[in-house]
Copies of this chain bind each other. A is one copy, B any other.
Amino acid sequence: MTERIRTFLATAQPESPCLIVDLEVVRENYRLLKASMPDTAIYYAIKANPDPAVLAVLNEEGANFDCASLQEIRDVMTLGIEPGSISYSNTIKKERDIAAAFQLGIRLFAFDCRAELEKLARSAPGSDVICRILTDGAGADWPLSRKFGCTKEHAIMLLQMAAERGLTPRGVSFHVGSQQTNADGWDTAIADAADIFRSLKAAGTPLDLLNLGGGFPTRFLNDIPEVALIARNIDASLKRHFGNDLPRTIAEPGRGLVGSAGIIKAEVVLIADNDEKASERWVYLDIGKFGGLAETMDEAIRYPITTRHNGAPAAPAILAGPTCDSVDVMYEKTPYPLPEALAIGDEVLIESTGAYTATYSSVGFNGFAPLKTYAV
Interface residues of A (CB under 8 A from B): 45-47, 50, 67-72, 75, 89-95, 112-116, 119, 134, 137, 142-148, 150-151, 154, 177-178, 267, 269-273, 275-279, 282, 284, 286, 290, 294, 297, 318, 320, 322-324, 326-329, 332, 344-345, 358-370
Known: A146-B279, A276-B154, A282-B147. A364 touches B359 (CB 8 A): yes
**Would you give the shortest CB distance from A105 to chain B, in whole angstroms?**
18
* Cβ contacts under 8 Å, A145 to chain B: 326, 329, 332
Partner of A144, one of B68, B144, B326: B326
Known: A113-B270, A146-B282, A286-B94. A366 touches B151 (CB 8 A): no
**Would you give the shortest CB distance from A311 to chain B, in whole angstroms?**
24
**Would you give the shortest CB distance from A117 to chain B, in whole angstroms?**
11
**Would you give the shortest CB distance from A265 to chain B, in whole angstroms?**
14
15 CB < 8 A contacts A-B: A71-B367, A71-B368, A92-B269, A92-B320, A94-B286, A113-B272, A115-B272, A115-B344, A119-B344, A137-B326, A146-B279, A147-B326, A290-B294, A360-B365, A363-B363
Partner of A366, one of B90, B154, B278, B361: B90
* Cβ contacts under 8 Å, A113 to chain B: 270-273, 276-277
Interchain CB contact under 8 A, A370 and B363: yes
* Cβ contacts under 8 Å, A47 to chain B: 323-324, 365-367
Known: A270-B115, A276-B113. A329 touches B147 (CB 8 A): yes
Interchain CB contact under 8 A, A360 and B272: no
CA of A328 to CA of B142, assembled, Å:
12
Interchain CB contact under 8 A, B69 and A360: no
CA of A217 to CA of B312, assembled, Å:
47
Interchain CB contact under 8 A, A90 and B147: no
Interchain CB contact under 8 A, B69 and A368: yes
Interchain CB contact under 8 A, B272 and A150: yes
**Would you give the shortest CB distance from A147 to chain B, in whole angstroms?**
5
Known: A69-B367, A150-B277, A359-B366. 10 other contacts (CB 8 A): A94-B286, A95-B345, A113-B273, A134-B277, A134-B278, A142-B326, A143-B326, A151-B276, A359-B363, A362-B363
CA of A368 to CA of B369, assembled, Å:
18
Interchain CB contact under 8 A, B362 and A320: no
* Cβ contacts under 8 Å, A267 to chain B: 94
Interchain CB contact under 8 A, B359 and A360: no
Q: Which 3 A-B pairs have the closest CB atoms?
A: A72-B367, A71-B367, A69-B367
Residue in B closest to A267 when the chains form the complex, CB atoms: B94
Interchain CB contact under 8 A, B272 and A324: no
Interchain CB contact under 8 A, A116 and B270: yes
Interchain CB contact under 8 A, B362 and A90: no
* Cβ contacts under 8 Å, A290 to chain B: 294, 360
Partner of A367, one of B50, B119, B332: B50
Interchain CB contact under 8 A, B359 and A362: yes
**Would you give the shortest CB distance from A142 to chain B, in whole angstroms?**
7
**Would you give the shortest CB distance from A333 to chain B, in whole angstroms?**
12
Partner of A278, one of B72, B147, B151, B275: B151
Interchain CB contact under 8 A, B276 and A114: yes
CA of A283 to CA of B277, assembled, Å:
43
CA of A178 to CA of B327, assembled, Å:
11
Interchain CB contact under 8 A, B327 and A297: yes
CA of A245 to CA of B329, assembled, Å:
38
Interchain CB contact under 8 A, A72 and B150: no
Residue in B closest to A343 when the chains form the complex, CB atoms: B115
